Structure 1
């Protein structure tokens, strides 16, 4: 059964991928499983041979995996059918049943859209703070509205390693964003007259009314804390309900730098603390007033029901977040095992819990919270098993010994959890803070044993007698101030920063395998094997990376990554109009380099200094080492970097097969680069020998017609197989004569989805069509990767890697 559950989880984890073979194995797996079960019950009832047992395990795992894959495939297909694809102005009828989220620029509100499809779908509405405050048009819980505005479909930067907004929308069951321009409140009678009476009746059901009441109480608690005379309102609310609407950006950044962001989310211990507090109080009342009850019903049986109800109540109160759901399912399963007098096997409970959760919400597999929550739980169970074994060997005689043992467990659990979750942290966040174990060593017990219990008591006080709740919140504010004082002291001593880690798939797999061996019980696998697993982390194989050229999807901008063996080069790094709001450098370029195992660049060529080409560099130049930077204008670089102008005649011979040269601008034209940035762009020509069908790449930067004319004059026999269009495919670049003479086999345009410039231009597309030259765009395909396989130059598109990225 465990292997079936494990196969189920792994099968669900393939969500977004397409494996026709797995789908074709579903029926055979079911048939084989039925045959094996029948054989086990009849002919081979007393057969305990190793071969038959292995056969059962393999078929059980195969069945679980194929079922999981098929279930995930169907669920994703159903959800993708309701996703919005285009931006358009619409009028929708909506119902509000979820608590909103306050942001600096807007209020985000999940809305149920009644009139868009045959089924009700969920969108994410964005309302400006000014509208809500001045015109009093905020969306109230439990109310219906007619909204006018523009749909904002999710469109990710399809670059490996960057945040996948489309995946997040799918996981959250959000079919579109929606920018609200007008709001009109509707009555239930209006909704009935519009033909949605059935939906209104559904919302009147007991379960939906309870859910609405919970959301209203969460909102009331938010307003109550916001009005309290305390300094740490955001932390008080976030640690109680997971609502981060009041959290200050400075506090959030502080927790991020110390690797403690997970403490701001509701986790299993929060739920258990609440349940244990109430059950302990109930136990004390029983012991004081009617202890004879325990003679009729053992304590563990009597308290199981209130304990589970408390866990359920708190999970509902925090919005059924994944860590809380994991705790709820685990508690229910363990309670069932206790009532049925079955032996509790922690790993089995964990697998059953994950499997059940994925039945009800298979999309939770896409969340980092799922993997981190269950990963931490697995490590804690291993620590618990170790402690149990030690307790059998050690006899605790004094309270000082007990304290020493508890401190030992605390320290051991922190370094083990930090180490065990390292691969997951690298997969999801691409960076770590080395001070995390030290900060968590103090913060976790301080929050878990003091702040969270006080928060819960204060919330109880609020519901019973508001001044009492306010008093406890103020006391807790002092406790949080003490925690922040300690963190700020650590900040003053260590000044920690999040370190980006470069690790490719192979080294990451080796790290995971080594950690699994390290955490296995003694005697299963020799611990010295860990050394073999960790060798790839320090070994450098110069020949492991064959040639590749990737045109990254950085929106409206350009960034090109080139690698051949140990040599790495980037041409431009993209850039947002305001890197402080959204940093292309930190949120796209650095994660991409990290997942490709690149810890430094040999060269960077900034074709010119427009923001959409150099902005990403400015945001990461202090954090990422680059040996040499080239541009057509003078540029301030880091002390460890060298600067030089790029100009015609420069050449770099990386190897016998790769040559790079600069075709423009001429050295005498560099003085005009400040005033003619686009035309004086650095134009790079790259040749890869002995490959087919793409050998010669011409990268035009933002160069226009004038530069194209000079290139044709200077290099009349220039061979080009792949042309990266100048100025993102602008109509002032890629002249008809230029395209006709070069006659590339393929052209690429790096441009942003729905960009206001209309790039690539319709005129350029028409020229290419007339000349029968194919065009690939980062809008349609995401990052476009050319890579060498033996003597073939192949192409891969990032938007082909996941089903939700395809449009």
Structure 2
């Protein structure tokens, strides 16, 4: 019963960030009520030996709900406390920092977590970015472990693209307990005396504690291993370091992309096998020492009890060595729970073990619930434990030959891989929206190779390198050869492997898929396995209820608008970053959004003009989805348009149920000017939704300015506009006062980037809107702005209002 009640606790924490004011106000009432019901049930059980199912049911329901509410309140309080230290404004700052973590190297320089002492009453963590050549950090870093510095630079707050399905940077910063980024311009080393005089005596004292010294020494050890491998001649030193410590600083982008394509990126993270291999190796060595020199210890306590605490100590040491990553922490807590049940001589079921471990982890760090690693790690463990339970039920008294044992092991490995792949499919699609079809095969090869050969060799070489350097070097060399063999096999598989397969599915499709998988994995006889196909049909065939929604996407300093209608999917502009090869708005923002809406093809794409911030993401989108028709105000060969391209021009219109799409500009005779007047000749789109209130008429201006606005007023004197998507992101040279005064839109929207260098939307524009009492929404403060049309009513939804860490005051 306890494990079912604790699932309520986990579920409550999983809703961290959502606005559930009722639960926050009443959680303690439900907790008191559950305690009363439990007390009454316990009293009745004492009075009567007969078990009462109704009492058990009431206790289970009330306790689960109470812990659900308590879990949500606990998570919400932790979130509110962390949010008060988050930076939201870009500004120059002089920070006093302390370095207690090693840096992360990259091609652009290095990234360093630092404790900032002078921003708030308590230290907070910031990411420090130093833009220098990677080679300059080969042997030394400008920021030394255990040192204090005064650094000058600029605060760079985390700011997510608030788009459903896109990577949430602000959530990731919170989960990492990092309150801001900081661009470093100048560094000044501080002595302990200077730090003391600045008033940070308490922090200096804290660094002298045993725990602080131990953690600092662990970080120094991690750094020493990096430097040792960095100066070596091993071909695969980056991969060896990543598998040993989880530090990917030396890992090439090619290896990362290869592992991602083949669906084995999870192997680069430190997980349970790494920790257990290290602990088992040292515990085995200790066991041999005890057997030889102190066998009488086994007369005092059984062998498993004698070795339990050294084993837990080894697990703790390696978990600290790899930086307390979530999968490693899960292993530590699981080992501690198993150890406790061994000490009290009680059995524990595998599923209960996972629930207890997850519940404890969330008490220590509720923000781990925001990490994909938490869900994937516990999900994989659950499947493995289910397989273990199946094996445990097999008869143990039947002798097996070595051939039979080998066949059974291979069969078990294959079964575990396909079950993990299928069972974790919903989680992979939720977090990544794409899968590697070769993942079961590559995992089948890579997991045994790494677990049985590479990782033990890596750990053994690291342990011996400080005791017997020659032997350690030899083992590292053997490991390097083994990794070369593995990478050769993976390269062969990569050539045969298709590209990552993107899957488009709505939340309802995902729920249907999960129900189908639950039916598939239920014990035989519970439900017919064929019933699971019903759950798979929506995602396989693309069935979905498609409402009418107009989305102005948050794509930073750019514009992308998506209209989803039962008869039409229309994209007006695609957004695009300055350099799509370094950061692709298409791959990272727009395509994930479209996939989460269940989009598998686009009927119509209209590019208002071909500036990078309006069309830069188009090539990626064109590669990801089939597109029936593409239009813009000019043709350009570099855009790789296909036969479906045509020019947009005034007078074009398309009519669907309760929807009319019109092009108001440019005129046919002005298309020749588009190459030299790209902004002014933007395709201006007018959308009319019949019988919709309060927003019926939408005018989308592209980058058009005052000249086009004047022409529109002349050519369309009766033009009605409820929502105006401002021209040129709210530039002062667009949306003239007279234009706004005549149209009088109910709402104006500026699609602009956070802290953009142009100052969009401009102060001049904001003053015009304020003078006319026209509300202004920006994608900076609102995120993606969605207009949802339902039975004649229009609901306005702001993505930044959906979770608390995205909200702006």
For normalisation by structure 2, the TM-score amounts to 0.97
Alignment of structure 1 residues 543-562 onto 2, 5 Å: 544-562=545-563
2:94 maps to 1:99: no
Q: CA deviation at 1:622?
A: 2.1
User: Partner of 1:470 in structure 2?
Assistant: 473
**What does 1:202-601 align with in structure 2 at a 5 Å threshold?**
202-288=206-292, 291=295, 293-392=297-396, 395-494=398-497, 496-541=498-543, 544-601=545-602
**Which whole-Å CA distance do the structure 2 matches of 1:690 and 1:765 have between them?**
31
Q: Which residue of 1 aligns with 2:69?
A: 66
Tell me, in whole angstroms, the C-alpha distance in 2 between the residues paired with 1:258 and 1:569.
33
| 3-state SS of paired residue (2:460) | helix
Is 1:80 aligned to residue 59 of structure 2? no
For 1:522 and 1:739, locate their aligned partners in 2 and report how far apart those are by CA, in whole Å. 67
SS in 1 for 2:153: strand
Which digits, 9 at most, give the CA deviation of each residue in 1:312-337, with x for residues without a partner? Answer: 11101100100000000001101111
Name the residue aligned to 1:707: 708
Q: Distance in 2 between matches of 1:517 and 1:638?
A: 46
Q: How far did 1:4 drift?
A: 2.4
More displaced, 740-749 or 71-80? 740-749
CA deviations 1:93-142 (Å, max 9, x no partner) are: 11110111011112111111111111111111111225994998711000
How far did 1:769 drift?
A: 1.3
CA distance in structure 2 between the aligned counterparts of 1:280 and 1:51, rounded to whole angstroms: 50
CA contact (8 A) 1:229 1:474 kept: no
The separation in 2 between residues aligned to 1:195 and 1:787, in whole angstroms, is: 55
Change in 2 beyond 3 A, CA 1:137/1:34: closer
For residues 624-635 of structure 1, what are the structure 2 equivalents within 5 Å?
Answer: 624-635=625-636
- Mapped to 1, the partners of 2:778 and 2:113 lie a distance apart of 32
Q: Is the 8 A contact 1:696 1:719 kept in 2?
A: yes
Aligned 8 A contact 1:622 1:638 in 2: no
SS at match of 2:164: coil
Q: Partner of 2:163 in structure 1?
A: 159
Rounded to whole Å, the distance in 2 between the matches of 1:426 and 1:723 is: 35
- Distance, in Å, in 2 between the alignment partners of 1:44 and 1:308 is 39
CA contact (8 A) 1:625 1:640 kept: no
Secondary structure of the structure 2 residue equivalent to 1:112: strand
Report the Cα distance in structure 1 between the residues aligned to 2:230 and 2:141, rounded to whole angstroms.
Answer: 20
Give the secondary structure class of the aligned counterpart of 2:65.
helix
Report the Cα distance in structure 1 between the residues aligned to 2:629 and 2:747, rounded to whole angstroms. Answer: 30
Q: Deviations over 1:623-664 (max 9, x none)?
A: 322121111111457687611111111111122x11101111
Q: Is the 8 A contact 2:433 2:592 kept in 1?
A: yes
Q: Distance in 2 between matches of 1:435 and 1:396?
A: 36
Distance change (3 Å), C-alpha of 1:188 and 1:131: farther
2:95 touches 2:117 (CA, 8 Å); kept in 1? yes
Q: Distance in 2 between matches of 1:788 and 1:473?
A: 63
Q: Which runs of 5+ in 2 are unaligned?
A: none
Instruction: Output the CA distance in 2 between the equivalents of 1:295 and 1:98.
Output: 44
Tell me the matched-pair count.
803
SS in 1 for 2:529: coil
Query: Which residue of 1 is the match for residue 799 of structure 2?
Result: 798
Q: Is the 8 A contact 2:723 2:748 kept in 1?
A: yes
Distance in structure 1 (CA, Å) of the matches to 2:13 and 2:471: 47
Two-structure CA RMSD over aligned residues (Å): 1.7
Residues 1:478 and 1:14: Cα distance change in structure 2 (over 3 Å):
same
Q: State the alpha-carbon separation in 2 of the partners of residues 114 and 559 from structure 1.
A: 41
Partners of 1:209 and 1:285 in 2: CA distance = 29
1:290 positional shift: 5.2
- In 1: Cα distance, 2:542 partner to 2:424 partner: 24
Equivalent residue of 1:557, what SS? coil
Identify the residue that residue 661 of structure 2 maps to in structure 1: 660
What residue in structure 2 maps to residue 732 of structure 1? 733
- For the residue of structure 1 that corresponds to 2:24, the secondary structure is helix
SS, match of residue 185 in structure 2: strand
1:110 pairs, out of 109, 113, 120, with 113
Give SS of 1:41's match. helix
- Answering whether residue 151 of structure 2 is matched by residue 147 of structure 1, we say yes
Equivalent-residue separation in structure 2 for 1:350 and 1:131 (angstroms): 41
Is the 2:109–2:134 Cα contact (8 Å) retained in structure 1? no
CA distance in 1, matches of 2:43, 2:425: 48
Contact 1:162–1:587 under 8 Å retained in 2: yes
SS in 2 for 1:545: coil
Equivalent pair of 2:243/2:455 in contact (CA under 8 Å) = yes
Retained in 2: the 8 A contact 1:626–1:641? no
Contact 1:125 1:179 in 2 (8 A): yes
1:620: how far off? 3.4
